[in-house]
A and B are shown apart, each in its own frame.
Chain A
């Protein structure tokens, strides 16, 4: 009784807490790379502007890492507070990646402590080196957590006996499930794109307001450069991922593409919604869906008609989310190409105000794409918590009172998001004031190298 009524708030709470956490992930995984690039340049070339950027960015990283550590801890509680049914049956199957993630998180937390507090007193290169394990741990941790998510989409590494008991457990096969192979690079590249585009967008706004000094240009170039390298790779990985979903999760794929009737020569739908089993308002590109997924218009794609009604994902949400992600991703690749062209030909950031306006939007857009991609994966998996093995409703807690905890979480996370934004904005304001003061007094950062490389 409780189980049914608590399914909705439990899903809402999970969606909210994970939806917030996933925005922080890029700043724990990829921002350290951008910080270290600036740091390296600062040390190597005695570039004081780069050093200043690295120091300031590391302070942003400190705040976001702390918030991410907190929201990540909440998620590990929610595994038991909300979804005990998953771990009751499959904890022994999918626990190992979480243990690896725990190890990575530990390493990350330790070296974040060393790196953030080591600016003044440590040997400069030793201090730089203390940032490197953060990057490695970010990659390992992402791999581990995303592989657990991959398992939920493609459960493997066990079998079920006649009574439905879990037997023949192989934790390695579970971790290296087929979805892991494309989900992990997809999420890693997304992290690099989001961190790069978001940081760059801040300086794009500054440049649009006339602050086109070296500080802004260098900051923009470093961050945007990282994102622009990741963006085209993401096209390739995303394409592999889509075909992986086609192969492994026909119900999700049918929802993503709004494929209603099984058959060959499926059209690709741009936009559109499913109303009463029919696609309305879409631009149809005949045969393109089959062509893209199987390189042949005769490729048969399973439609919603072959998916039992109680095993269908909410197609409109999944389709909309998928298209938003692809559209934004494509636009970001185009923007990256513009940047790349200008850099290749003229060694500089495109000077067009239109480029800067687009770059200023790219930060928020990349976050929207990240969320949309995540919605595609997770909502597209429904009604299963583990695809075709365990339904979400059968995994939910029987403790009751989830509405209460959901409301508390809504209030808490609103305060958390508002607090994070307020703190970051006041940091930025403080830095701008410092810049202004330095310009007035002529007390610019020392152009001489402080540290001999």
Chain B
């Protein structure tokens, strides 16, 4: 779909690159590339992670709500409340995680993981990269699976006995899975 264009098409680069290539074989890169940067392989890329909805890239490991209850109590409850109710205290400000189902079309919408988040994979992705707030990225993959299982179980989205892993997590159907529409702007009513 997007064919890389030869570098010669980049405005203003034609002369400089051609001259450099002709004048010095040591500098002669492919005329399609500057040659800057260092190729990087799977081993170095392994430290990065971003998990789309289909679960691609989910790591090995697994966890259950029972194990997750302890992780939650140790690492999450201080900011999110022992029941996932959130904590608005000064210096904390942790979001509410549970409840709010059925409120999105009401006059008092409550957006939580349970009521609003469309994908369970997003919860794994976010917790793994950015939680706990004061020590981001410190939970093991097993602990992340476990605490995700705990939140989903408390939200009654999965059963307390369900195990979350790379296979089961992408199959979880969140209550608001179909709650999103593409940007519908520009708002044509404004052009009447």
A and B: interacting chains: no
B interface list, Cβ under 8 A from A: none
A interface list, Cβ under 8 A from B: none
